Amino acid sequence: MNPLFNMANKVHPGEPSSSSSVSYFSSNQETFTIWMKSLILNGKGCTVFDSNGRIVFRVDNYNCKSRDVFLMDCKGEILFAILKKKKFRLLRFWEGHRSKNTDQLNPKGPGFQVSKRFGISRGHSACEVVEVGVNKNQCLCYNIERCTRSSPWKIADKFGRPIAEIKRKQLTSGVLLGDDVLTMVVEPFIDHSLIMGLFVVYSLINCRM
């Protein structure tokens, strides 16, 4: 039996938080498990667990034809509305609009934008690189990189320093789980919800969600 099914049976999504506001920052490196399955029957999406087996993020796509996807917390409250845009006939990009509640998106505009460009890495297949701008006034930029299908993909800052890595989950015994079970490691003082938003966009670009 898939160990993620056992994990899903142990979590309590409706469990009240110890604080009215949830922080998605940590002073320590954090590890998450991403299960590329929605908890909704016949839905598309993913479910994200922390190191204690609690659900922290969800994506439940009820309408597979929809251009909009929502990243939610464990209670189903929207953290980011991810919208697919079209600037020119062939140029497409994605916007992540941060939301403080389910009724109103941030009126200041998107929290991040993602566009796709192609390059060829020496000795490898084509690299997929996603450029991200977070808050245009701050000019924060990240790259999402993956050189081969079997290699982990990383999110790095503009100086090339890695801030998150995602790869197939491996048990302590050395056994690799299926390609729908991933491990995400996020470096300290990085917004976990932002990293998840970028992961969702990358999955949409690669038709994995």
| CA–CA distance, 186 with 20 (Å, rounded to integer) | 24
Give the residue-averaged pLDDT of 173-187: 92
What would the pLDDT profile of 27-73 be if each residue is shown by its tens digit? Answer: 999 999 999 998 887 778 999 999 999 999 999 876 655 568 999 99
Tokens of 159: 């100086």
How distant, in Å, are the alpha carbons of 17, 58, 125, 131, 198 from that of 75? 10, 9, 40, 30, 20
Among the listed residues 200, 162, 195, 206, the one whose alpha carbon sits nearest the alpha carbon of residue 82: 200
For residue 7, what pLDDT band results from cuts at 50, 70 and 90? very low
Per-residue pLDDT, 138: 58
Q: Does domain 26-116+162-205 have CATH number 1.10.10.60?
A: no
Tokens of 22: 């949830």
Helix (H, G, I), strand (E, B) or coil at 77: coil
In eight-state DSSP terms, residue 7 is: H
**Could you tell me if 44 and 63 are in contact, meaning their C-beta atoms sit under 8 angstroms apart?**
no
What would the pLDDT profile of 75-97 be if each residue is shown by its tens digit? Answer: 989 999 998 887 665 567 888 98
| Of 9 and 197, the one with more pLDDT | 197
Helix (H, G, I), strand (E, B) or coil at 29: coil
**For residue 19, is pLDDT > 60?**
no
What would the pLDDT profile of 104-146 be if each residue is shown by its tens digit? Answer: 445 455 688 888 765 544 444 345 667 676 555 555 788 888 7
Beta strands in 44-120 (DSSP E): 44-49, 55-61, 68-73, 78-86, 92-98, 112-120
Give the residue-averaged pLDDT of 7-18: 41
